[in-house]
């Protein structure tokens, strides 16, 4: 079921699938977004990833600006598609991405959810870092809060800061079955010209400053009738659906803006790179 409400200059879309519960997608600025339907993100396999970058020149871009190489501390290199805005300064993008995508050295401890799980970390929908979408044109961060009330507060703070910057993220709120909507996926991207920009990096950094005052790694309330593997799959599936919902909203926005250059950039054929998300 789809419900659309207009509040001021914002369009709030509520998607209510029977199997998942309500997703709340908020398109914060009219007239932007990509045109291709989203494909499943490649981050379902890892709930608590650790991405530690090389201390020297961790990020490199190809000469045609279409590929990014991320050098890790262990010597591995992750290569994937990259799609910046045409005039984005790559040096500034590299510096900002290396800060936003790297896992903090000191992370909050996630307590077990019950006596059986006290000796192992809980699983959570939230992530400490941002990750680069496989299409290379957006960055996402997932968060999980103790209550819907705190999520409301965070959403209000993010929107207030975005209004000040005149640059808005796509925000999707979701819940599983009859549980409170305590999960949020935040997506930063630029719509015209299409791609990832320095403004997106600045917005993500400001969002991080807001999130630093909250517990964004609230443990998943496990279903005692399901095993840990099933619970992880449920979290991964919810992450996928929430990212896909944000990309659908970006698609709709760009369809309405008439930005032919942006549309042609967003529909370029996909190339095959590493499927590991960064």
pTM for the full predicted model: 0.74
Residue 212's domain comprises 2-105+121-266
> Is residue 181 assigned to a domain?
yes
> Is residue 39 assigned to a domain?
yes
What pLDDT does residue 103 have?
86
Closest by CA position to 278, among listed 145, 61, 100, 85: 100
pLDDT in tens, 67-93: 999 999 999 999 999 999 999 999 999
> Is residue 19 assigned to a domain?
yes
Given a cut of 50, whether residue 151 has pLDDT beyond it is: yes
> Is residue 115 assigned to a domain?
no
Cis amide prior to 127 (ω within 30 degrees):
no
- Mean pLDDT across the chain: 75
Closest by CA position to 141, among listed 130, 157, 155: 130
Residue 206's domain is classified under what CATH number?
A: 3.30.1360.20
Find all residues with CB under 8 Å of 71, minimum gap 6, and list them: 53, 54, 57, 58, 59, 60, 77
Q: Judge whether 96 and 196 are in contact, CB under 8 Å.
A: no
Alpha-carbon distance of 163 to 23, in angstroms, equals 23
Using 50, 70 and 90 to split pLDDT, how confident is the model at 177? low
Given a cut of 70, whether residue 277 has pLDDT beyond it is: no
Alpha-carbon distance of 124 to 47, in angstroms, equals 7
What's the domain count of the chain? 1
Give CA angle at 131 (234, 27), nearest 5°: 80
Mean pLDDT in residue range 193-218: 97
What pLDDT does residue 5 have?
33
What pLDDT does residue 257 have?
67
What pLDDT does residue 43 have?
36
């Amino acid at each position: 079921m789809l419900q659309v409400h207009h509040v001021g200059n914002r369009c709030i879309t509520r998607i209510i699938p029977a199997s998942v519960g309500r997703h709340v997608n908020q398109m914060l600025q009219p007239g932007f977004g990509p045109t291709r339907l989203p494909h499943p993100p490649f981050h379902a396999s890892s709930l608590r990833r650790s991405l530690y970058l090389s201390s020297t020149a961790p990020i490199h871009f190809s000469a045609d600006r279409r590929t990014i190489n991320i050098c890790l501390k262990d010597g591995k290199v992750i290569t994937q598609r990259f799609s910046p805005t045409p005039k984005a300064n790559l040096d500034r993008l590299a510096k900002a991405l290396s800060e936003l995508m790297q896992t903090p050295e000191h992370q909050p401890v996630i307590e077990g959810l019950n006596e059986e799980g006290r000796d192992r970390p809980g699983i959570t929908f939230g992530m400490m870092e941002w990750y680069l979408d496989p299409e290379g044109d957006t960055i996402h961060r997932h968060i999980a809060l103790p209550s819907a009330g705190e999520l409301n507060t965070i959403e209000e703070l993010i929107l207030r800061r975005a209004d000040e910057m005149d640059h808005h993220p796509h925000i999707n709120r979701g819940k599983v079955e009859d549980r409170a909507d305590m999960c949020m996926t935040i997506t930063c991207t630029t719509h015209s010209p299409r791609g990832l920009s320095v403004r997106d990096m600045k917005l993500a950094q400001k969002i991080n400053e807001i999130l630093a005052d909250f517990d964004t790694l609230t443990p998943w309330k496990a279903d005692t009738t399901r095993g840990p593997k099933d619970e992880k799959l449920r979290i991964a599936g919810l992450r996928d659906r929430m990212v896909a919902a944000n990309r659908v909203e970006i698609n709709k926005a760009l369809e309405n803006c008439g930005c032919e250059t942006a549309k042609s950039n967003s529909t370029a054929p996909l190339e095959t790179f590493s499927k590991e998300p960064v």
